[in-house]
Structure 1
Amino acid sequence: MTYQQIKWLIFVVPALAIGLWEYIRHEWLLSIISMELGNWLTPLFVLAFSILINSKLFQILEKNQRELEQEKMKQAIINERQEISRELHDSISQSLFLLSVKIQQLHHSDQKKIVEIESTIDKIQSNVRHSIKHLRTPDLQDWNSALHDLLDPMRRQRPDIKFHVNWPFQNQNYTMEEKVHFFWIIREGLINVLKHGDQVSNVTIIGTPNKIELIDDGTDLIAEDAQPHYGLEMMKDRAKSINWKLCLVRERNQTVLRLEKGENAR
């Protein structure tokens, strides 16, 4: 049953119930039920009939809505994997091109050049492992569980850093597409903290319906890094695609990666 059919049935069922009751009452029950009593029974009958029928229709509608959300999540994940595949392809292509150039120079090179080539090969392997790991998509239906699954390996990797999650509200405010992008943005932000953060001892993830923040207490690397940051630009593009805004700021001696909904963004 389609959404439109269910909607029209919800509208039509009460009218049919009233019409059916009034017909039966005037045709066969006038001798048994007085007019005044019938007027009192009419709203009760319509209420009971509507609850009985419409509750089934609402169950079907909710089921269809859940299935639609699941399909949207699957499509968002498929799109995400396609994007990762393109990034993986570009990364490997660039690395292989650089490697081929260095190999061509090998017969003119010394031991230092050979070490550089070995380093390039190690980077290719690291990029491939990193990209393949990103293809594993968690179950985002249970958002808090997905966050903790993301943080567990990072806690093992960096036991010197304390990770905190402050996410007190339910996540029905988010669509599945938003959850997918939020997850990848948070993960990319955490990876950047682990890679580039200096003297970090605490990392906090704070979630509200209209704002998400990733906060670390490391030293200020924003001013020092004058070069464009590809990971940051990628996160901004993700945020923009779902009408959110992302910025990286320094507040109260902390680095804050802030994600805000479009109309609430500063």
Structure 2
Amino acid sequence: MSYKFTKWLILIVPTLVVGVWEVVRHQFLMPYVSMELGNVLTPILLFAVSITLLYRWFAYLERMQEELQRERALKVRLEQREQLARELHDGIAQSLFLLSVKVDRAERQQPASNGAYDWNELRKTIHEVNRYVREAISDLRIPSNVKEGETDETSMSALVRRIAAEQQLTLRLDWQLEETHWLPKAKMELLSCVREAVVNAAKHAGVQDIEITSGGDHRDFVLKIIDHGCGFAPEDAVNQGRYGLRIMRERANEMGWGLLVASQSGGTTIEIRRGGGCDEGSGTGR
């Protein structure tokens, strides 16, 4: 039923019920039902209709209102993300590009000497910052309105492949996660965690390939990101100012997921889980 049709039912049905009851009472039930008894039965009948029908319809209207409010709030958040992505692209990203051009020009204009400034180090720093900004833009613009029947280009598995390709990693993907019924926010948070794990593996673990497996549905799932790199110690990661896993943990906690990090020499496994008695794992940040 539509919202408008439900409102009309709430308005019309009590009137019709009382009208039909009065006609039947006066035409057919007068020999059996006195006027006083009929007057008592009328509000009782109206109350019964309110309990059995109107209560359900009002509850239905409330659910529709709540869904509408959630959709509006989600739309506002997505519009804010898109606006922030545009501002990052038009502001910081363009400024970094201009800065890299100026660095190249300054390097060419400076005469070569033994005490020359290390332009390569500065250029590398600019490149790293530019990469982080563009990854943030990509995260903000992750498609979230995937509908059943659309092409696979906007599915989570396709976006995971794109994330690995951006880091120039060979991906071994076993994606058994059912992608229907996922909320847009849950999709974006899960993909952001995957991106953070993949970027960390490419940058810190020194790997050329990565393995990602998943299974379950939106209510009960397990996702693992596995690399066979050098591994790390959580305390060293904190001392070096790397907060990637801390950000992942905050995302997982916000969504009610469990995050388990297992790392040793020879590889790291990051597991994100919901359902099945998931517990938050150890590890501080990388």
> Corresponding residue for 2:175?
165
The 1:245/1:140 distance shift into structure 2, 3 A limit, reads farther
Q: Does 1:72 align with 2:73?
A: yes
- Please say if residues 200 and 216 of structure 1, whose CA atoms lie closer than 8 Å, have aligned partners that are also in contact: no
> Corresponding residue for 2:37?
none
TM superposition shift of 1:127: 3.2
Q: For the residues of structure 1 that align with 2:203 and 2:163, how far apart are their CA atoms?
A: 11
> Corresponding residue for 1:248?
261
SS of equivalent residue, structure 2 residue 260: strand
> Corresponding residue for 1:120?
125
217, 230, 254: which one pairs with 2:243?
Answer: 230
Give me the CA root mean square deviation.
5.1
SS of equivalent residue, structure 2 residue 132: helix
Q: For the residues of structure 2 that align with 1:153 and 1:29, how far apart are their CA atoms?
A: 75
- Please say if residues 212 and 225 of structure 2, whose CA atoms lie closer than 8 Å, have aligned partners that are also in contact: yes
SS of equivalent residue, structure 1 residue 68: helix
TM superposition shift of 1:150: 0.7
Amino acid of the residue matched to residue 171 of structure 2? I
The 1:114/1:125 distance shift into structure 2, 3 A limit, reads same
Q: For the residues of structure 2 that align with 1:170 and 1:135, how far apart are their CA atoms?
A: 21
Q: Does 1:216 align with 2:226?
A: yes
Superposed CA deviations along residues 80-132 of structure 1, whole A, max 9, x for unmatched, are: 5688779x96xx89xx8xx99xx9xx999734612222323333433333333
> Corresponding residue for 1:150?
159
SS of equivalent residue, structure 1 residue 184: helix
> Corresponding residue for 2:27?
28
TM superposition shift of 1:138: 0.6
186, 191, 210: which one pairs with 2:194?
Answer: 186
Aligned residue pairs: how many? 236
TM superposition shift of 1:69: 3.1
Q: TM-score, normalised by structure 2?
A: 0.56
> Corresponding residue for 1:205?
214
Q: TM-score, normalised by structure 1?
A: 0.60
Q: Does 1:130 align with 2:117?
A: no
Q: Which runs of 5+ in 2 are unaligned?
A: 31-44, 281-286
TM superposition shift of 1:254: 6.2
The 1:80/1:22 distance shift into structure 2, 3 A limit, reads same
Q: For the residues of structure 2 that align with 1:264 and 1:20, how far apart are their CA atoms?
A: 58
TM superposition shift of 1:214: 2.4
SS of equivalent residue, structure 1 residue 161: strand
The 1:168/1:244 distance shift into structure 2, 3 A limit, reads closer
The 1:68/1:258 distance shift into structure 2, 3 A limit, reads same
SS of equivalent residue, structure 1 residue 246: strand
Q: Which runs of 5+ in 1 are unaligned?
A: 32-41
Q: For the residues of structure 1 that align with 2:234 and 2:29, how far apart are their CA atoms?
A: 89
Q: For the residues of structure 2 that align with 1:156 and 1:169, how far apart are their CA atoms?
A: 21
Identity of aligned residues (%): 18
Q: For the residues of structure 2 that align with 1:146 and 1:225, how far apart are their CA atoms?
A: 36
SS of equivalent residue, structure 1 residue 163: strand
TM superposition shift of 1:258: 2.2
Q: For the residues of structure 1 that align with 2:123 and 2:230, how far apart are their CA atoms?
A: 33
